[in-house]
Structure 1
Amino acid sequence: MVDNDPNVIYGGDFEEKLQFASLGELLIQHFTDGGEKPALINGATGETWSFREILTPSSKLARVLYGAGIRQNDVVSILAENRFEFTAISYGTILLNAILAPVNTTYTERELKHSLDISRPKFMFVSKVCENKISLLKKLSYIKRIILLDNNDTDENTKIIPYKKFINKFETTSFDVEKYASQKVNLSEQVALIFMSSGTTGLPKGCLLTHLNIFTCVAINLERVPLGKELFGNVVSLSIAPWFHSMGFMAILLSATTREFSMVYLDKFEPELYLQCIEKYKVVTIQVAPPLVVFLAKTPLLNKYDLSSLKVIFSGAAPLTQETEDQVKERFNNEIIVLQGYGQTEATLGVLYGSVSAGKPGSVGELAKGVYAKIVDEKGKSLGPNKVGELCVKGPLVMKGYLNNNAATKETIDKNSWLHTGDLGYYDEDFQFFIVDRLKELIKYKAFQVPPAELEALLLKNPKIKDVGVIGIPDEVAGELPFAFVVKQPGVELTEEEVKDFVVKNASDAKWLRGGVKFIDEIPKNPSGKILRRDLRDLYKNTKSKL
């Protein structure tokens, strides 16, 4: 019993603990044991890499990075789409006990600079699709090298160097990667990853994920995989989540450390190609956000392909409606299992997982091993079964904190180490958990989190806008769409399209005002000046009902 509280739920102990000196040593062991089994398959090109074929370039990248001056706790960033080099750079960084900080490729320059100013990477790997950001990267003094994955251009001061030249110039054979990785680190303190996580009060924050966080995630996965093999035999999964996102990166990291299944990946969603991959590679399970479940439930393309291998749809990143779950099951003649899970970047990945054997409709599952949870009311008092409150979790999945932001860390993780998720839910008598609403004000557009406060701060820079309030409105495909209530400055002309275009020019795709814009006389606020978003939602509903 934690905190002597009878209402605290525990996910149970692991059957076997992982005994490795570092995350790097774990990767080397699992890649070695995986041998020639296919590990990663590019669904667009058919290129396939075995576990051993991933280990070789990853070890090489570690020697190159070491030769170029990267050491423990230095930060390395990648600004690229899903591609094989992404894995080699990532694992090579981890093998050095350096810190990997993947960067969102859809960021505008404003968002990109904010993200990089937090993580302050020493080296940046950049693909062709992001080379328009190089002029900004060159200005940031903390970035010592920019390595171009697809370009042979060099910089006069050698700050910019092509990928192949970088490898040839700096690889050192005297550095023993395996010996280095076998040196024990403090697992709970050593940071492995920095992922950006949006908050409700402004721009993203850097989540520090440690070796222990990742170890725990791997251990949870290893205990879940045997059931999958028992039910479905050879397991092949398909993922299109971007690897700069925690959901996408942890998917490839878990596949790398499992050895029991192969992963097919795509760098973007193309309907026909996606379905072709399921048929061609006999995909058993897919990890998706709800919009893709909607696609499978409604697309007429489904009848063109043999998707009989597909047995499990695992939906995460946002709530999945019961209607959509029922529709997709019907499309697959009720021969498919739809599971939901729940997690946050601040909790490494998932803390609740749907159960193949004991899942319930609408449930986000049961607690993962090693995780404690409780439901609390607005005063912090823990609640029993079937009572709605805020979900709080505790255990080795909870991040170390936000990078250089102690105030935000203390707001999110209390003095007793409980992570306050900001989501409302409950558990039933069988300890199945259900999420019913969010205390946090984040808008979830597809798998992306959009903080209203950031959009409001941006819109207020427009000289024609006096005040603004942003909410998310329901959308069957995307989950939610950003919608803005705008108060114009006196005597100015301003159209909805002008407001939308202003956001398009200054914010990444997920933050565009696809929900629309409505002009009003005043933004409702409480006495302290906080926007009353519930009033705005009611105003939206009333406006919609009159249309």
Structure 2
Amino acid sequence: MSNNQNIIYGGDFEESLDYPTVGALLYDNFKDGGDKVALIDGIKEEQWTFNDLLEQSVKVAKALYDAGIRQNDVISILSENRLEYAAIAYGTLYLNAICAPTNFAYTERELEHTLNITKPKFVFISSSTKALLPKLEQFDFVKQVILLDDDNVSSDKLISFKTFLNKYSNNSFNVEAFVRQPVKLFEQVAVIFMSSGTTGLPKGVELTHGNLIACIASNLERVPLGKSLFGNVTALYITPWFHVMGFMGKLLFTTTREFTQVFLAKFIPKLYLKSIEKYKILTITVPPPVILFLSKTPLLSNYDLSSLKLIFSGAAPLTKELEEEVKKRFNDEIIVLQAYGQTEATLGVLYSDVATAKPGSVGQLVRGTYGKVVDSDGNILGANKVGELCFKGPFIMKGYIDNVEATSSTIDKDGWLHSGDLGYYDEDYQFFIVDRLKELIKYKGYQVPPAELEGLLSSHAKIRDAGVIGIPDEAAGELPFAFIVKEEGSDLTEQEIKDFVAKNASNPKWLRGGVKFIDAIPKNITGKILRREMKELYKTMKAKL
């Protein structure tokens, strides 16, 4: 860790990963993993070894190639976490095609927006997302929809996964030789994730092979310390793989660390605790709401959780108070660490270390990354001074797909990613998050853009204007709350508004915080909504209750 005129550097990589593609990195790790168990589906109680991962992902790659998929073609996965998901993602990366994990909870409106950005040629769906098939079949760029569950299905675009693998099987295609062919690492896009940004609907974040390899390299350097402290590692995850935290932090990192990963398609409290007991889970990675659950639930006494030694918190800030509370619940025998990152930075740029972690800190810069804190005029600040956090290095995205304006407003001409988050670092270069410059609402780790909800609400015939803010909530972090200006003479009710949003927006965006009718939305002279004033208005309103 070094400091040059208040620009902090995380240090050089101790050991560079010299791979021509991320596919080659994955292929070699699966090959070396052998018969060690890699993935366990905690709900279905099915498992794959690294050999299984290699065999199944190669089978998918050969089928995709035989079906006409080539470099830069986009493959979308619209499914809950499951073993086949991993094989599809890896097989896509082997071909230097682009994987676009998609939120399976999207409404038709949100899905349409996302697909028009990523334009996938093939889409893999499961029985839980089958209802979206009619929508998928409307897009000309979607050439094939593959259903992971049913065998006896067929239409112009729909085929079962089993039939797909049997129909397309180019055994002459040498996957291992193909992944050895180098690409321009920081030009070739590997994955597109959706990120809400600060305004409007989600944007497509392009992450390259170089981004993924650098991120994996950074995480691999922490493995020796973990193994020296704990030995073999079995981890439990619930983060969906369409999210960068799930895809990168679990689907890619775990399988390159020789960890055994137990995953659940969703959080079911009793099953979650039972899984920790059954598989002797050593570490979990969760958002703060799950830590809150662990700190308060009476269910803990029904299970043997003595194997659990390490909790990683991510996706949203973890308060010092909640960190201390969960430690007390486990008699201070648990280590709680935080990390900080964003989709645009290929997951994490700040990580806590077991040896140096401080309560409330999100950690230090990872190797290969530069960081600085700037004021509103762009001046670089020193230690213990609050400003916007900015980052630079091999983790920073290529850009937002087909959106030069949004890219240039996020990454400046010198290559610095402006995070939109306020924070500072102390004399030991430990970083702390204070607040957000961005207007995003963080509901259980999900990003909810107020502008999107405002646009949706304003489309309602009985609503003249709308303003949305996040209000504090101990369990979820923040809840979306709407100020509404009704059309004159309207009989609009709060429940009608809530039902309208629930019908047209995915679950995290529902107005759980409530609705308040007012005469006018606070705005400046240019028409920009003044959220700070709305938050003060909410505080005043709450104080009167």
**TM-score, normalising length from structure 2?**
0.99
* Aligned residue in 1 for 2:196: 198
Q: Aligned residue for 1:164? A: 162
Query: Given the alignment, which residue of 438, 441, 444 partners 1:443?
Result: 441
Task: Name the amino acid aligned to 1:523.
Answer: I
User: How many Å apart are 1:151 and its aligned residue?
Assistant: 2.3
CA–CA distance in 2 between the matches of 1:311 and 1:96? Answer: 38
Aligned to 1:367: 365
User: Hey, what does 2:450 align to over in structure 1?
Assistant: 452
Q: Give the Cα–Cα distance (whole angstroms) in 1 for the partners of residues 508 and 456 of structure 2.
A: 14
Please give the per-residue CA displacement for 1:95-128, whole angstroms capped at 9, x wherever unaligned: 0010000110110000000000000000001100
Specify the code of the residue in structure 2 equivalent to 1:174.
Answer: S
* Superposition deviation, residue 162 in structure 1: 1.1
| Residue aligning to 1:118 | 117
**Residue identity opposite 1:495 in structure 2:** T
Note the C-alpha offset of 1:156: 4.4
- Return the alpha-carbon distance in structure 1 between the equivalents of residues 472 and 54 of structure 2: 44
Distance 1:539 1:332, change over 3 A: same
Deviation at 1:539, TM superposition (A): 0.8
Distance apart, 1:5 and its partner CA:
6.0
What is the aligned length? Answer: 544
User: Residue 97 of structure 2 aligns with which residue?
Assistant: 98
Hey, what's the Cα distance between the residues in 2 that align with 1:270 and 1:147? 28
Instruction: Say which SS state the counterpart of residue 193 (structure 1) adopts.
Output: strand
Establish whether residue 54 from structure 1 lines up as the match of residue 28 from structure 2.
no
CA contact 2:9–2:369 (8 Å) conserved in 1: yes
- 1:259-278 alignment runs, 5 A limit: 259=258, 261-278=259-276
Deviation for aligned residue 1:527: 1.0
Which one of the candidate residues 302, 306, 309 is aligned to 2:300? 302
The one-letter code of the counterpart of 1:19 is: D
What code does the residue aligned with 2:461 have? P
Match of 1:257 in 2: 256
Correspondence for 2:208 among 189, 196, 210: 210
- State the Cα distance separating 1:46 from its structure 2 match: 2.2
Q: Is contact 2:387–2:422 with CA below 8 Å preserved after alignment? A: yes
> Displaced runs of 4+ in structure 1, greater than 6 A?
none
List per-residue Cα deviations over 1:493-546 (Å, max 9, x = no partner): 111101101101111101000000001111111111111101111111111111
User: Does 2:51 align with 1:73?
Assistant: no
What is the identity, as a one-letter code, of the residue corresponding to 2:314?
G
Question: 1:380 and 1:314 mapped to 2: Cα distance?
Answer: 32
Report the Cα distance in structure 1 between the residues aligned to 2:251 and 2:503, rounded to whole angstroms.
33
Q: 1:516 to 1:190 in 2, by over 3 A?
A: same
SS at match of 2:137: helix
Cα offsets for 1:317-373 (capped at 9, x unmatched): 001112211110000000111111100000001000011111111100000000000
**Which range moves more in the overlay, 377-386 or 39-48?**
39-48
Amino acid at match of 1:280: K
Separation of aligned partners in 1, 2:145 and 2:152? 11
Residues 154 and 160 in structure 2, CA contact (< 8 A), matched pair in contact too: no
Q: What does 1:324-339 align with in structure 2 at a 5 Å threshold? A: 324-339=322-337
- The aligned runs of 1:404-423 (5 Å cut-off) are 404-423=402-421
Shift of 1:172: 0.6
Seq. identity, %:
63
Code of the aligned partner of 2:324 = D
- How big is the shift at 1:45? 2.6
* Residue identity opposite 1:384 in structure 2: G
Query: What is the CA–CA distance in structure 1 between the aligned matches of 2:94 and 2:297, rounded to whole Å?
Result: 43
C-alpha separation in 2, matches of 1:46 and 1:140:
36
Aligned twin of 2:510: 512
The within-5 A match list for 1:223-234 is 223-234=221-232
Corresponding residue number in structure 2 for 1:394: 392
Distance in 2 (CA, whole Å) between partners of 1:414 and 1:127 is: 40
Return the letter of the residue paired with 2:462.
K
CA distance in 2, matches of 1:14, 1:507: 42
- CA drift at 1:152: 3.5
Give the structure 1 partner of residue 314 of structure 2. 316
Where 1:423 maps in the other structure, the secondary structure is: strand
Q: Decide whether the 8 Å contact of 2:147 with 2:160 is kept in 1.
A: yes
Equivalent residue number for residue 32 of structure 1:
31
Q: Deviations over 1:50-89 (max 9, x none)?
A: 1111000100100000000000110000111100110001
* Cα deviation, residue 252, structure 1: 1.5
Letter in 2 for 1:409: T
The answer (yes or no) to whether the contact 2:208–2:398 under 8 Å persists in 1 is yes
1:355 corresponds in structure 2 to 353
Shift of 1:153: 4.9
Q: Give, in angstroms, the shift of residue 154 of structure 1.
A: 4.2
The residue number in structure 2 matching 1:244 is 242
Question: CA separation in 1, counterparts of 2:245 and 2:24?
Answer: 23
Task: Determine helix, strand or coil for the equivalent of 2:535.
Answer: helix
- Rounded to whole Å, the distance in 2 between the matches of 1:388 and 1:277 is 41
Number of the residue aligned with 2:17: 18
Q: How far apart, in 2, do the equivalents of 1:372 and 1:9 lie?
A: 6
TM-score (ref. length: structure 1): 0.98
Letter in 2 for 1:24: G
Provide the aligned C-alpha RMSD in A.
1.2
Q: 2:495 is matched with which residue: 491, 494, 497?
A: 497
Q: Distance in 2 between matches of 1:119 and 1:272?
A: 37
Q: In structure 1, how many angstroms separate the alpha carbons of the residues matched to 2:332 and 2:525?
A: 52
